[in-house]
Chains A and B, each alone.
Chain A
Amino acid sequence: AQSVTQPDIHITVSEGASLELRCNYSYGATPYLFWYVQSPGQGLQLLLKYFSGDTLVQGIKGFEAEFKRSQSSFNLRKPSVHWSDAAEYFCAVGWGFMDTGRRALTFGSGTRLQVQP
């Protein structure tokens, strides 16, 4: 069965430092990939998405992510973190209906980001 793994439950970085959040998926077919962010008490907001083409995708708020097929990964990066980036981040993966019979996204368990001043 398809699955999504975010190995880091909690990450703390200093403001201005770089950030990388990891995401790995498990399935043979090429998925389509998303990163969402959730601020406390809020819904999920889309940061970026990958469907096909260029494997480095740019998103909102200065985030980017790189799809690496050989590693089944879609890691999220930001060169300089701001205090307002503190939130929970979710990687999500979708597969074609013909592959799985399901038309819905599968989410990882999330990574909570704390930003130190």
Chain B
Amino acid sequence: NAGVTQTPKFQVLKTGQSMTLQCAQDMNHNSMYWYRQDPGMGLRLIYYSASEGTTDKGEVPNGYNVSRLNKREFSLRLESAAPSQTSVYFCASSLGGRTEAFFGQGTRLTVV
């Protein structure tokens, strides 16, 4: 019963490098989300996908791109990493509408 799976769990990047964070859910959820967590700021929404084939910007989308590959998978790409993107990234999914979100274990990203 995996739920929401994120890879990798840890990553160190150099400034300017690119990478893709992977997320997959096995709960047949319609909606998926990417949040970043920074100390004292809670979780801030980067992008979300309300349903397969759609994506929308959240509060802090600059420097990121997303792809909803299929109903199960939602990836987050950093094209040119910056130290300000050092954070813990969480993927989440939900059925949509008035339902709770289920979270992955997070990816701790450090950009040096």
- Please list the residues of chain A having a beta carbon within 8 angstroms of any beta carbon in chain B: 4, 6, 9, 32, 34, 36, 41-46, 49, 51, 90, 92, 94, 96-97, 102-110
Q: How far is the CA of A96 from the CA of B96 in the complex (A)?
A: 10
Number of A-B pairs, beta carbon distance below 8 Å: 58
Shortest CB–CB separation between residue A34 and chain B, in angstroms?
6
Classify chain B: how many residues form its interface, as a range. Answer: 20 to 34
What are 26 A-B pairs at a CB distance below 8 A? A6-B42, A9-B40, A32-B98, A36-B103, A43-B4, A43-B90, A43-B103, A43-B104, A49-B100, A90-B42, A90-B43, A92-B101, A97-B97, A103-B31, A103-B48, A103-B50, A104-B31, A104-B45, A104-B101, A105-B33, A105-B45, A106-B45, A107-B42, A108-B42, A109-B40, A110-B42
CB-CB contacts below 8 Å: B63-112 with A: 90, 92, 96-98, 100-106
Cross-chain contact of A104 among B33, B102, B104 (Cβ < 8 A)? B33
Tell me which residues across on chain B come within 8 A of A32, comparing CB atoms: 98
B44 to chain A, nearest CB (A): 8
User: Taking the nearest CB of chain A, how far is it from the CB of B37, in angstroms?
Assistant: 9
Kindly state the separation between the CA atoms of A36 and B101 in the bound complex, as whole angstroms.
Answer: 10
Residues of B within 8 A of A (CB): 4, 31, 33, 35, 40-45, 48, 50, 56, 58, 90, 92, 96-98, 100-106
Q: Which partner residue on chain A sits nearest B59 by CB separation?
A: A106
Is B105 touching A42 in the complex (CB atoms < 8 A)? yes
